[in-house]
Amino acid sequence: MDIHVVRAGETVSSVAARYGVPAGILAGVNGIAPDAPLAVGQTLVVRRPRELHTVASGESVYSIALRYGLSARTLYQNNPALGGRSALYPGQTLVIAYDDTPTRTLAVNAYSYPFIRGGLLDAALPYLTYLTPFTYGINADGTLLPLADEWLLAAAGQYRTAALMHLSTLTEEGRFDNARSTLILEDADAQDALVQSILETVQARHYFGLDVDFEYVLPEQREAYAAFITRLREALNPLGCPVVVALAPKTSAAQRGLLYEAHDYALLGAAANAVFLMTYEWGYTYGPPMAVAPLTQVRAVLDYALTVVAPEKIFMGIPLYGYDWPLPFVSGETRAESLSPVQAVERALRHDIAIQYDAAAQAPYYHYTDRGGREHAVWFEDARSIEAKLRLADEYHLQGVGYWNLTRPFPQNWAVLASLFDIETLL
């Protein structure tokens, strides 16, 4: 795999010719049209096909995969232009193998809201070990808030993607509330009822495991939270179901703040089968303009986490989005707009702005002026920033990565992932 940074005057065809790859395949890998305009500074993922197949009448994804000894998932991974869909036409060219065949296996999780578009979900599922529908919250009486997850679970099953039930302290209003965690951690009857509901839901909906995300837990409930995770693991592991716990991004055990103090990496790392480090949101809606997941900060969290949690138990979080901040930034007033990496590139193109790259943060950014004369700062992810994060996961020998979240399209992410890793399949 190569990552090409577009220069002035370049086109998909000229870049394809430079690397000796078909323009249609280069476009498909990057999720763009062969005649799509390119922004200066935009990245293109270049994968060189080693073996191609021309579709004949009557052939299907499954028959072609069988012919070459591949799984349908692998054929979809090699041909992102299919979008995970099985429709083929005679004469269509499919990639059977690339020169950059990966050798290391990585577990890949991704979170999704139920309102995700079907095409976006289908395109992502072949690249996932786990899909985690977001979220089962907790009612004021301790019972589970329902989640319309049926279609997500059905889709995951079609692509041999395991599903994790997601439990959080999200309320009916969609906010994290430590009153809900307090209820569960301090009321034995409420905890008993919740654990029973979780067991019933996991079994009835055939979830592979459980992902727990209690945020803003009171500091004095640090040990009680770890004990609750231990109880869940002891209840679910006999069913073959692992328990994952989400952790706020800490760089030391002494880190202060309501988001961090009850997330004891050592205790929770021992209590759960795996941990998910939420290594993103340094740049966020109400904060000053900066990268969402600067590599220096992500590395610092991993350096601390690995002092108390084994690497084979760690999932590293990766964002699939960016932000657009109107300037000047005013603390408490400025609100950034969330946008996909695709939208970020389109915005740079529309305003004829060259995309820059911050080598320290390992993230792309640019500034532009809107029609009203107001300046904006945009930070997002591209193929370079994703490669840097995935290579960090490899460097630290982590079990896997977890993406937040699938509702923002980012085709290049999957191209980079598939070029670097063989994605673990459990079903």
* Residue 215 is among the residues annotated as catalytic for this protein: yes
CA 293 to each of CA 211, 213, 256, 329: distance values in angstroms, whole numbers, following the listed order? 22, 19, 20, 19
Cβ atoms of 170 and 246 closer than 8 Å:
no
d(CA 249, CA 275): 11
Helix (H) or strand (E) holding 421: strand 421-423
Strands 421-423 and 104-112: parallel
**Residue among 215, 261, 381, 387 flagged as catalytic:** 215
Residue 323 phi/psi, 5-degree rounding, is: -140, 150
Through-space distance between the first and last CA atoms of the chain, rounded to whole angstroms: 28
Separation CA 13–CA 5 (nearest Å):
14
Alpha helices in 306-382 (DSSP H): 341-350
Pairing of strands 363-369, 243-247: unpaired
Question: Which backbone phi and psi does 302 adopt, to 5 degrees?
Answer: -65, -40
Q: What are phi and psi of 386, to 5 degrees?
A: -70, -45
- Tell me the helices (H) and strands (E) count for the chain, helix number first: 14, 18
Q: Which of 75, 164, 172, 166 is nearest to 127 (CA)?
A: 75
Question: Which residues lie below 8 Å from residue 119, measured CB to CB, with a gap of 6+?
Answer: 83, 85
Closest by CA position to 232, among listed 263, 194, 276: 194
**Residue whose entry in the numeric block shows the structure tokens 């679970």:** 153
List the structure tokens of 378.
């945009």
The DSSP output letter for 424 is: P
Rounded CA-CA distance 150/159 in Å is 15
Q: Which helix (H) or strand (E) holds 337?
A: strand 337-339
Return the active site residues.
215
